[in-house]
Amino acid sequence: MDYLRQVVAIVWKDVAIELRTRERVASMGAFTILVGILFNFAIDPTVVDPAEIASGLIWMTIIFGGMLGLGRTFQLEEEDGAFEGVLLSPIPRDALYLGKVASNFILLMVVTALVFGVFALFFSLGLGEHPLALALVVLLGVLGFVAVGTLFAAISARTSMGDTLLPVLVFPLLIPVIIFGVTATSSLFRGLPVSEVDGNIRMLGAFALGALAAGAVLFRHVVED
């Protein structure tokens, strides 16, 4: 119970900062809308039907927009040494990691909802016939992405290369999320039954669980000084 309280304390701290500054959510939100506009002009609708490639575009927008926000996870705290204070508090490192993952996850789900809204608006897409299955695919995929991204954001924030290093470290590891996420999303968009994406959902869940476990174990080696 104590453990949960500690995780919630971290989440609440990050969410409160975000609610007051609205820094990350504003830049990520603007980013996704602008990407929607750019895609609109980058794709020739007489050659490809945007609906056919929408699932890929949606996932790429989530990933790119997400990198923008994940890179900032530890930036604010690194700048004035505030992270020292967080580390000094009697919170186990894995609780700190899970809290950071949870707050990033909340942030990214807001952005993801916006991405779906933008694509629905600009490309007149629906949510398919199984919105619940679609939501599960997106939730698990984003969770896996955030779990990997948060761990490596902690690393890149403490190197001299900073944010430029993050995509190099994270993108190769995200292939399972992209492949299982995109194929499941596009199957659901095409109205295939949920049983078709059953395997995808399991794999996304396995990825998310594995990434969370690895991150919780390894995080303390990243933040110790």
Partner 1 sequence: MSGKVRWFGVVLGLLGLAAVLVLHWQVFFWVSTERTMGVVQRIFYIHVPAAWVGFMAFGIVAVCSAVYLWLKDERADMAAVAAAEGGMLFTAIVLLTGPLWAKVAWGIWWEWDLRLTLTLLLFFIYLGYFLVRRSTENLEKGKRFAAVVGIVGALDIPLIHLSVKWFRSIHPEPVVMNPDGPTLPGDMLATLFTGLAAFTFLFFSFFLFRYGLERTRHALAHRRTGRGGEALSEGMAS
Where on the chain is the footprint of partner 1 (CB under 8 A)? 148, 151-152, 155, 158-161, 165, 168-169, 171-173, 175-176, 179-180, 183, 199, 203, 206-207, 210, 214, 218, 221-222, 224-225
Nearer to partner 1, 13 or 158 (CB): 158
Say how far apart CA 176 and CA 93 lie, in whole Å.
Answer: 27
- Tokens representing residue 121 in the block: 């608006």
Q: 3-state SS string over 126-173?
A: CCCCCHHHHHHHHHHHHHHHHHHHHHHHHHHHCCCCHHHHHHHHHHHH
Instruction: Tell me how far, at minimum, the Cβ of 71 lies from partner 1, in Å.
Output: 15
Long-range contacts of 76-79, Cβ-Cβ distance < 8 Å, separation of 24 or more: 76/17, 78/157, 78/158
Instruction: Tell me how far, at minimum, the Cβ of 188 lies from partner 1, in Å.
Output: 16
Instruction: Tell me how far, at minimum, the Cβ of 203 lies from partner 1, in Å.
Output: 7
Nearer to partner 1, 31 or 145 (CB): 145
- Tokens representing residue 17 in the block: 């900062």
**What is the distance in angstroms between the CA of the first residue and the CA of the last residue of the chain?**
28
Nearer to partner 1, 22 or 190 (CB): 190
Nearer to partner 1, 25 or 151 (CB): 151
Contact (CB, 8 A) for 111 and 25 = yes
Nearer to partner 1, 54 or 212 (CB): 212
Instruction: Tell me how far, at minimum, the Cβ of 200 lies from partner 1, in Å.
Output: 8
Contact (CB, 8 A) for 189 and 125 = yes
